[in-house]
Amino acid sequence: MPADITIITSLYRAEAYLPVYTGRVLGVAAQVKAAGLALELALVANDPTDRERALISQLEGTLRDSGTATAIRLDVPREPLYA
């Protein structure tokens, strides 16, 4: 089923912020699902650290297990700002 809403998030050295971001995304995902819409989360991890990879994997698993959203993950080498 195609998503009704896609949230695109570019991450760079975000491990300190990912726990709070995860909580907020889960709250939004629950509200979107309750409204009868499909949510997709696109995460672009720029040169992610091992900890960032682990936190993003946790978020992907939580979304998958809860059935509230789908996640698309892109791990990319460090991109300059203009990219």
Tell me: the pLDDT tens digits for 53-67? 999 999 999 999 999
**Is position 52 within any domain?**
yes
**Is position 82 within any domain?**
no
**Is position 25 within any domain?**
yes
**Is position 13 within any domain?**
yes
What's the domain count of the chain?
A: 1
Sheet bearing 39-46, strands edge to edge: 5-11, 39-46, 70-76
Domain that holds residue 15: 5-76
**Is position 40 within any domain?**
yes
For residues 34-55, average pLDDT = 96
Read off the pTM.
0.86
CA distance 4 to 6: 7
**Is position 16 within any domain?**
yes
**Is position 83 within any domain?**
no
In tens, the pLDDT along 13-26 reads: 999 999 999 999 99
Burial class (CB within 10 angstroms; exposed 0-12, middle 13-18, buried 19+) of 10: middle
